[in-house]
Amino acid sequence: MASRLSMPTTNAIIQYVSQTKEAIGYVGLAYAPRIKTLSVSSDGSHYATPTVENDTSKTCLIVRPLYYYYNVKNKSLP
Q: How much is the average pLDDT of 30-51?
A: 89
Could you tell me the pTM of the whole model? 0.68
Higher pLDDT residue, 13 or 54? 13
Strand partners, 40: 48
**Quick one: pLDDT at residue 72?**
76
CB 47 within 8 A of CB 39: yes
Quick check: 60 pLDDT over 60? yes
All residues at 6 or more sequence positions from 34 whose CB lies less than 8 Å from its CB, including other chains: none
- φ/ψ region of 53 (left if φ > 0, alpha if ψ in -120 to 50, else beta) reads alpha
The region of weakest confidence among 5-9, 10-14, 30-34, 71-75 is: 71-75
| Separation CA 52–CA 60 (nearest Å) | 9
